[in-house]
């Protein structure tokens, strides 16, 4: 569970946080993996599982804290936080992110969609950047062959 927690924090840091930097910089293409927003619910639940596994390993008994104890209240708080996050915060973040993109004059570009990535959407600031790529390089940079040259768009705005 510790590895799952670290992976979810890494995925949030590497795939969700950069979205807002790209929007701020006015990147030509913003990749939005909407399914990754669901990982916001993982850290509180994973924290409880790590603590429970540690207690089990230390005591050799199952994790069942008595009612009204600190660990019982902490467990309930983390699980309820996780559930409320997936029900309220995740959809709100998706809607807010979409609204920010629309307000900053981005438009969705389904042509850039990578095959098999139903919860991922590319937003473009310039309609010329919306095309059917022949391949992707690096970190989902779309490329197209024009004549005898391959042209690749760097979507991060740097």
What is the rounded CA–CA span in Å between residue 29 and residue 74? 42
For the segment 10-62, what is each residue's pLDDT rounded down to a tens digit? 988 988 898 999 899 888 888 888 888 988 898 898 888 888 888 888 888 88
Q: Where are the domains of the chain?
A: 2-127
Across-strand partners of 149? Answer: 146
d(CA 54, CA 50): 6
For residue range 84-107, list pLDDT tens digits in order: 999 999 999 999 999 999 999 999
Q: Which DSSP letter does residue 114 get? A: P
E strand residue ranges, the chain: 29-33, 107-108, 120-124, 135-137, 141-146, 149-152
Q: Residue 143: helix, strand or coil by DSSP?
A: strand
If you search the block for the tokens 């795939």, which residue do you land on?
15
Tens of pLDDT, residue by residue over 108-154, are: 988 887 766 667 888 998 887 888 888 888 767 788 888 888 887 77
CA 20 to chain CA mean position, Å: 12
């Amino acid at each position: 569970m510790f590895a799952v927690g670290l992976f979810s924090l890494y995925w949030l840091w590497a795939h969700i946080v950069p979205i807002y930097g790209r929007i701020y910089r006015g990147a030509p293409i913003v990749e939005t993996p909407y399914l990754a927003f669901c990982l916001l619910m993982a850290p509180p639940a994973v924290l409880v599982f790590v603590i429970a596994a540690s207690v089990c390993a230390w005591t050799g008994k199952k994790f069942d804290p008595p009612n009204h104890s600190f660990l019982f209240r902490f467990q309930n708080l983390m699980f309820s936080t996780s559930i409320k996050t997936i029900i309220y915060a995740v959809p709100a973040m998706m809607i807010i992110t979409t609204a920010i993109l629309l307000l900053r004059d981005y438009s969705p570009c389904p042509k850039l969609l990578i095959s098999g990535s139903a919860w991922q959407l590319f937003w473009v600031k310039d309609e010329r950047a919306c095309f059917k790529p022949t391949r992707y390089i690096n970190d989902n940079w779309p490329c197209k062959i024009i004549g005898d040259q391959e042209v690749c768009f760097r979507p991060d705005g740097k």
